Structure 1
Protein backbone atom coordinates (compact mmCIF):
# COMPACT_ATOMS: atom_id res chain seq x y z
CA UNK A 1 0.00 0.00 0.00
CA UNK A 2 1.12 3.50 -0.76
CA UNK A 3 2.50 5.20 2.33
CA UNK A 4 1.60 2.36 4.69
CA UNK A 5 2.88 3.24 8.14
CA UNK A 6 3.81 6.77 7.11
CA UNK A 7 0.40 8.43 7.01
CA UNK A 8 1.48 11.39 9.12
CA UNK A 9 3.93 12.33 6.38
CA UNK A 10 2.16 11.10 3.27
CA UNK A 11 -1.39 12.33 3.96
CA UNK A 12 -0.45 16.04 4.17
CA UNK A 13 1.61 15.67 0.98
CA UNK A 14 -1.35 14.09 -0.83
CA UNK A 15 -3.69 16.79 0.42
CA UNK A 16 -1.27 19.37 -0.94
CA UNK A 17 -1.20 17.46 -4.24
CA UNK A 18 -4.99 17.90 -4.47
CA UNK A 19 -4.15 21.56 -5.26
CA UNK A 20 -1.62 20.77 -8.01
CA UNK A 21 -2.07 22.53 -11.34
CA UNK A 22 -2.08 19.14 -13.15
CA UNK A 23 -5.47 17.40 -12.95
CA UNK A 24 -3.78 13.99 -13.34
CA UNK A 25 -1.77 14.65 -10.16
CA UNK A 26 -4.91 15.79 -8.33
CA UNK A 27 -6.81 12.68 -9.44
CA UNK A 28 -4.03 10.31 -8.37
CA UNK A 29 -3.71 12.09 -5.02
CA UNK A 30 -7.41 11.57 -4.33
CA UNK A 31 -7.12 7.89 -5.24
CA UNK A 32 -4.05 7.44 -3.04
CA UNK A 33 -5.96 8.89 -0.09
CA UNK A 34 -8.37 5.97 -0.48
CA UNK A 35 -5.61 3.64 0.76
CA UNK A 36 -4.29 5.69 3.65
CA UNK A 37 -6.94 8.25 4.54
CA UNK A 38 -8.42 6.26 7.41
CA UNK A 39 -7.13 7.56 10.70
CA UNK A 40 -6.64 11.01 9.23
CA UNK A 41 -10.27 11.94 8.63
CA UNK A 42 -9.92 15.27 10.42
CA UNK A 43 -7.75 16.61 7.60
CA UNK A 44 -8.72 14.30 4.73
CA UNK A 45 -12.49 14.92 4.78
CA UNK A 46 -12.29 18.74 4.45
CA UNK A 47 -9.70 18.42 1.66
CA UNK A 48 -11.88 15.95 -0.25
CA UNK A 49 -14.97 18.10 0.22
CA UNK A 50 -13.01 20.92 -1.37
CA UNK A 51 -11.92 18.56 -4.19
CA UNK A 52 -15.60 18.02 -5.05
CA UNK A 53 -15.47 21.54 -6.55
CA UNK A 54 -12.55 20.64 -8.86
CA UNK A 55 -12.93 21.51 -12.53
CA UNK A 56 -11.85 17.99 -13.55
CA UNK A 57 -14.48 15.23 -13.39
CA UNK A 58 -11.89 12.53 -12.59
CA UNK A 59 -10.78 14.45 -9.51
CA UNK A 60 -14.39 14.87 -8.40
CA UNK A 61 -15.12 11.17 -8.94
CA UNK A 62 -12.04 10.20 -6.96
CA UNK A 63 -13.04 12.51 -4.13
CA UNK A 64 -16.54 10.98 -3.99
CA UNK A 65 -15.13 7.46 -3.86
CA UNK A 66 -12.67 8.28 -1.10
CA UNK A 67 -15.27 10.20 0.90
CA UNK A 68 -17.44 7.08 0.78
CA UNK A 69 -14.67 5.16 2.53
CA UNK A 70 -12.99 7.60 4.89
CA UNK A 71 -16.26 9.36 5.63
CA UNK A 72 -17.76 6.27 7.27
CA UNK A 73 -18.72 7.27 10.78
CA UNK A 74 -18.85 10.92 9.73
CA UNK A 75 -22.15 10.75 7.88
CA UNK A 76 -23.42 13.93 9.50
CA UNK A 77 -20.73 15.80 7.58
CA UNK A 78 -20.25 13.70 4.45
CA UNK A 79 -23.79 12.70 3.45
CA UNK A 80 -25.18 16.24 3.00
CA UNK A 81 -22.10 17.22 1.00
CA UNK A 82 -22.40 14.19 -1.29
CA UNK A 83 -26.13 14.77 -1.81
CA UNK A 84 -25.40 18.31 -2.96
CA UNK A 85 -22.33 17.41 -5.04
Structure 2
Protein backbone atom coordinates (compact mmCIF):
# COMPACT_ATOMS: atom_id res chain seq x y z
CA UNK A 1 0.00 0.00 0.00
CA UNK A 2 1.27 3.50 -0.84
CA UNK A 3 1.92 5.61 2.28
CA UNK A 4 -0.20 8.74 2.74
CA UNK A 5 1.99 11.81 1.99
CA UNK A 6 -0.12 13.96 4.32
CA UNK A 7 1.88 12.94 7.39
CA UNK A 8 5.17 13.81 5.69
CA UNK A 9 3.82 17.17 4.53
CA UNK A 10 2.58 17.98 8.04
CA UNK A 11 5.95 17.04 9.51
CA UNK A 12 7.78 19.32 7.06
CA UNK A 13 5.34 22.21 7.68
CA UNK A 14 5.77 21.81 11.44
CA UNK A 15 9.58 21.70 11.15
CA UNK A 16 9.70 24.82 8.96
CA UNK A 17 7.27 26.63 11.24
CA UNK A 18 9.24 25.72 14.35
CA UNK A 19 12.47 27.01 12.77
CA UNK A 20 10.80 30.41 12.30
CA UNK A 21 8.99 30.47 15.63
CA UNK A 22 5.66 29.93 13.83
CA UNK A 23 5.83 33.58 12.68
CA UNK A 24 4.22 33.81 9.23
CA UNK A 25 6.39 36.80 8.25
CA UNK A 26 9.59 34.98 9.14
CA UNK A 27 8.38 31.84 7.32
CA UNK A 28 7.70 33.88 4.16
CA UNK A 29 11.07 35.69 4.38
CA UNK A 30 12.84 32.34 4.78
CA UNK A 31 11.05 31.01 1.69
CA UNK A 32 12.11 34.12 -0.28
CA UNK A 33 15.69 33.68 0.95
CA UNK A 34 15.71 30.05 -0.25
CA UNK A 35 14.36 31.18 -3.64
CA UNK A 36 17.14 33.77 -4.03
CA UNK A 37 19.79 31.27 -2.95
CA UNK A 38 18.58 28.60 -5.42
CA UNK A 39 19.55 30.69 -8.45
CA UNK A 40 16.32 29.81 -10.24
CA UNK A 41 14.06 32.40 -11.81
CA UNK A 42 10.76 32.96 -10.03
CA UNK A 43 7.75 34.89 -11.23
CA UNK A 44 6.49 37.46 -8.74
CA UNK A 45 3.04 38.83 -9.49
CA UNK A 46 1.80 42.16 -8.15
CA UNK A 47 -0.85 42.01 -5.43
CA UNK A 48 -4.40 41.74 -6.71
CA UNK A 49 -6.59 44.67 -5.72
CA UNK A 50 -10.35 44.25 -6.01
CA UNK A 51 -12.05 46.73 -8.28
CA UNK A 52 -14.56 48.87 -6.39
CA UNK A 53 -17.33 48.08 -8.89
CA UNK A 54 -16.77 44.33 -9.09
CA UNK A 55 -15.99 43.79 -5.41
CA UNK A 56 -18.51 41.35 -4.00
CA UNK A 57 -18.62 42.86 -0.53
CA UNK A 58 -21.01 45.79 -0.78
CA UNK A 59 -24.46 46.46 0.66
CA UNK A 60 -27.55 45.71 -1.38
CA UNK A 61 -29.05 49.02 -0.28
CA UNK A 62 -27.64 51.82 1.79
CA UNK A 63 -28.71 52.02 5.40
CA UNK A 64 -30.43 55.35 4.70
CA UNK A 65 -32.96 53.67 2.37
CA UNK A 66 -34.48 51.37 4.99
CA UNK A 67 -36.99 53.95 6.18
CA UNK A 68 -38.12 54.66 2.63
CA UNK A 69 -39.35 51.17 1.83
CA UNK A 70 -43.00 51.10 0.88
CA UNK A 71 -45.05 48.34 2.43
CA UNK A 72 -47.93 47.03 0.36
CA UNK A 73 -50.50 44.85 2.13
CA UNK A 74 -51.62 43.36 -1.19
CA UNK A 75 -50.41 39.83 -2.03
CA UNK A 76 -47.95 39.62 -4.88
CA UNK A 77 -49.27 38.31 -8.21
CA UNK A 78 -48.53 34.69 -9.12
CA UNK A 79 -45.42 34.08 -11.17
CA UNK A 80 -45.75 33.35 -14.88
CA UNK A 81 -44.76 29.81 -15.79
Normalised-by-shorter TM-score class: under 0.3
Structure 1 or 2, whichever has the larger Rg, is 2
Higher relative contact order (CA 8 A, sep 6+): 1
TM-score, scaled to structure 2: 0.23
- The structure whose residues are more often helix, as a share, is 1
